[in-house]
Structure 1
Amino acid sequence: MDTPYGSASLPVWERPEPQPRAAAVTLSRARIADTAILLADEHGLDGLSVRKIAKELGVGPMRLYDYVATMSELLDLMVDAVYAEIAEVDPPVVWRDAVLHIVHRTREAALAHEWFADLLGARPHLGPHALAVGEATAAALSRAPAVHSVNDLQRSLGALNAFMVGALRREVTERRTARATGTDVSAWQAAQGPYLTRMLATGRYPTVARLVVGGTHLDAGETFHHNLTTIVDGVTA
């Protein structure tokens, strides 16, 4: 098959939709992806399967393979649908505000679709909406005063993405752990308080003691914003 990529098959975003069948249920890649997203939001990626998606849509599993050849293609469609949510609101004009806006939008998407955080930082996301978000981020960072070359831009993007992926995965993991164990953070801290007080009283951990006693305990959103601005200002200074 001749394609823009030679003999390789077209990526899922560029393949035409299959011809509609004379069937009771009309399908499209967008509908399949939306259904898969709802299932993944509720059950996680481990609970996602072609059979479950087909059942939710009221069709046989084999019909889905007309639209997506593999689970990887389905994940690509799901991820790009989330990037479409991120791109729904145009970023501000000022470069720094634009970068903060895009990263905060990404965090909101990851908290709404926790499975999305599992797929960040793996292979590149090349869907049209992912590329649009990547373009907006790179274009904003390229306007920073200290970013003079492509190498500067690559390093800045690398540092920003490393922070974002790590921070989002940690936050999502903490949320999942709290749900799975039924742990209330305040109750856990109160339970560990006497032990930690005894350990800090030994004087062997003075810097940890400073952090525990004098540190400001911000919520997750405030902490994310503070660390994000520190990274952005640091890599573009």
Structure 2
Amino acid sequence: MDEPAVIWDRPEPTRRPAPSPLSRESIVQAAIRLADAEGLEAVSVRKVAAELDAGPMRLYGYLSTKDDLLDLMVDAAYGEIPLPEATGQDWRTTLRELGHGIRQVALRHEWFADLLGRRPHLGPQALAYLEASLAALDRADEFATIDEVSRAIRTLHAYLIGALRTEVAERRAERSTGLDKDSWRRKAAPYLTRALSSGNYPTVANFVHNATRQTPDTAFDTGLNHLLAGITPPKPN
């Protein structure tokens, strides 16, 4: 008989006592600690087993592949996102809360941003997050059909994935180079001054000299607000 495709369809083995009692929860938390400290590349069944003082073969009773482990880690991360109660709250408020919630998780667990948008997230916590997102629009008068809801959610998720991956990449670059954005701008200033003085990039020059600098918090919130303001389907003629 073929093994079920998703980890949540497979029963967890009966927990055994010492020397090293295991559970999917303890395995996932150990993997998350490794990923938080060293990145996704540090996560392997062997390393997680060592973290738990257990043999790697014991872990294969709880999961079959590293992809299973990543799926469980992603779902645990979704479980950290506070879900709004299903009340009469405005749909934009609900989606704004969910957007900020997923951002906070991605900043706590940068590897989470790497896994967003790869393959469908089907765990119970991910489905609860998706249900809250879809339901907020499905209840709204502006969205007449489930297709309109689907298109809006896809657009929102595309923004979230792009914004979070960009922010995480910038944080990693700052750590690896030791330069924050202002320090990097000062270092690049001589080259940029020469390039902009050529007159070939007038709009870039206007942007560099006159655009308001935003904090990461403000940039994310501004982008999210712009998207939510324009996400409703066009009215038929």
Output one character per residue of 1:97-118: Cα deviation in whole Å (capped at 9) or x when no partner.
1100001100110111011111
Q: Which stretches in structure 2 are left out of the alignment for 5+ residues? A: none
2:51 alignment counterpart: 56
In structure 2, distance between residues paired with 1:66 and 1:85: 26
In structure 2, distance between residues paired with 1:194 and 1:40: 38
TM-score (norm. length: structure 2)? 0.91
| More displaced 10-residue stretch of structure 1: 74-83 or 8-17 | 8-17
| More displaced 10-residue stretch of structure 1: 227-236 or 124-133 | 227-236
Q: CA RMSD in A?
A: 1.8
Q: Contact 2:83–2:132 at 8 Å: present in 1 too?
A: no
1:214 pairs, out of 205, 210, 213, with 210
TM superposition shift of 1:45 = 0.9
Output one character per residue of 1:106-148: Cα deviation in whole Å (capped at 9) or x when no partner.
0110111011111101110000000000000111122344311
Alignment-mate amino acid for residue 49 of structure 2: A
Output one character per residue of 1:36-81: Cα deviation in whole Å (capped at 9) or x when no partner.
0010111111111111111111111111001011111111111100
1:80 alignment counterpart: 75
Q: How does 1:188-207 map to 2 (within 5 A)?
A: 188-207=184-203
Alignment-mate amino acid for residue 72 of structure 1: D
Output one character per residue of 1:195-225: Cα deviation in whole Å (capped at 9) or x when no partner.
3233323322221122111111001110011
1:69 aligns with 2:64: yes
2:171 pairs, out of 175, 187, 193, with 175
2:14 alignment counterpart: 19
Alignment-mate amino acid for residue 19 of structure 1: T
For residues 44 and 84 of structure 1, do their structure 2 counterparts lie closer, same or farther at Cα, with a shift above 3 Å needed?
A: same
Q: How does 1:9-48 map to 2 (within 5 A)?
A: 9=4, 11-48=6-43
2:142 alignment counterpart: 146
2:158 alignment counterpart: 162
TM superposition shift of 1:88 = 5.9
In structure 1, distance between residues paired with 2:66 and 2:82: 24
In structure 1, distance between residues paired with 2:94 and 2:83: 14
| More displaced 10-residue stretch of structure 1: 193-202 or 217-226 | 193-202
In structure 1, distance between residues paired with 2:60 and 2:198: 64
* 2:230 aligned counterpart, secondary structure: helix
In structure 2, distance between residues paired with 1:104 and 1:176: 20
TM superposition shift of 1:91 = 7.6
In structure 1, distance between residues paired with 2:185 and 2:11: 55
**Percent identity over paired residues:** 48
TM-score (norm. length: structure 1)? 0.91
In structure 1, distance between residues paired with 2:22 and 2:113: 27
For residues 32 and 84 of structure 1, do their structure 2 counterparts lie closer, same or farther at Cα, with a shift above 3 Å needed?
A: same
1:136 alignment counterpart: 132
In structure 1, distance between residues paired with 2:121 and 2:19: 34
Q: Which stretches in structure 1 are left out of the alignment for 5+ residues? A: 2-6
Alignment-mate amino acid for residue 198 of structure 2: T
1:4 alignment counterpart: none
Count how many residue pairs are aligned between Structure 1 and Structure 2.
232
| More displaced 10-residue stretch of structure 1: 125-134 or 149-158 | 149-158
